Structure 1
């Protein structure tokens, strides 16, 4: 079997390309997030909260597509950093609401520098990145539909 027809060739695997791309892009975020004291998953949580706080822990987990076992330590670390508060929801006492602290809200101004820095580091056009985002969104939907 030739290399071009080998269905098991590593460089032909979508999963391999997605895995390497994910690790590589997240590595670009690390030095930008470090001064803020954030990991990439914490940054994603902050993005969701900057967009639509307050959120219940369950809502935030659904938005980030993370399980409760991952959400709890992530939120504890954000709380320890002074960026969020978890309190019983006024709408439903059984639910925990996650809200930003003034420090967490102020961090948004610093975070606004991250997307343009990532675009510059990738050296790709915004159109190209938008098309990639649309393709990845279709891959996610297709993979979830196949489960």
Structure 2
């Protein structure tokens, strides 16, 4: 017997959002494998390409990641030679993250990825922008 109050997967907004996030992230994998980075590492690199020399906590805020998740990710990027972590002289509790030369070179290779993803999706830029705006609207309501 079915309870009419039982949540149904088909009626949930969380499920298609979960699946699309997982599938789109999967589309990035072959392109990121060529660069020897993971999707979360790619996100960190994009932040640094926009603003080099950010404190770790600012990167975490932008990615909605805590330091326990972010620190190992940064260590792996540093081991690969893409970033440098330095303690701030004025306050040694603050660790800033800088692009290494290899990280700057990686940026040049990564520039083609968004176009390749859009091509794989077969969606017009306007449609992607509309989807992004809708998702950001929901995210902003959740954050408040």
TM-score (norm 1): 0.91
Equivalences for residues 104-115 of structure 1 within 5 A: 104-115=103-114
Unaligned runs of 5+ in 2: none
Equivalences for residues 121-140 of structure 1 within 5 A: 121-140=120-139
Equivalences for residues 1-147 of structure 1 within 5 A: 8-145=7-144
Query: How many corresponding residue pairs?
Result: 143
CA distance in structure 1 between the partners assigned to 2:82 and 2:90 by the alignment: 22
Displacement after TM superposition at 1:144 (Å): 2.1
1:102-127 deviation per Cα after TM superposition (whole angstroms, max 9, x unaligned) = 00001001000100000001100000
Displacement after TM superposition at 1:91 (Å): 4.4
TM-score (norm 2): 0.93
Unaligned runs of 5+ in 1: none
CA distance in structure 1 between the partners assigned to 2:6 and 2:115 by the alignment: 38
